[in-house]
Amino acid sequence: MDPLLVRAAVAAVGVVVSLLVVYQAYRGYLRNGSRAMRALAVGIALLGTVHFLLLLPGGTSPELDIGLSILRQLVDVVGLAVVFYALTRA
């Protein structure tokens, strides 16, 4: 089986699951008006949806893979910081 196809399938499933979790967190924000739930939804969107979307174009060149890997790591760090904020400050 083609590794790029497997990567795309895993990324697609990750995006769908992540969007379901983000939707639930956003509904919690709308229901309660809680800044923490809004921040949690944003953090999960970065950690899940954006991260997995950045997996899709990979595999076309080594330079692109390195750049996307760095970008994914930066998105993950920002997402974790937002989740940390949601759990401690909001």
The CA-CA-CA angle for residues 57, 10, 16, to 5°, reads 95
Q: Does pTM surpass 0.75?
A: yes
Q: What is the pLDDT of residue 90?
A: 61
Res. 59: pLDDT tops 80: no
Tokens read off for 3: 């590794």
Q: Could you give the 3-state DSSP secondary structure of residue 28?
A: helix
pLDDT per residue as tens digits for the range 4-31: 888 889 999 999 999 999 999 999 999 9
Res. 58: pLDDT tops 70: no
Mean pLDDT along residues 31-55: 94
CA pair distance 73, 7, nearest whole angstrom: 17
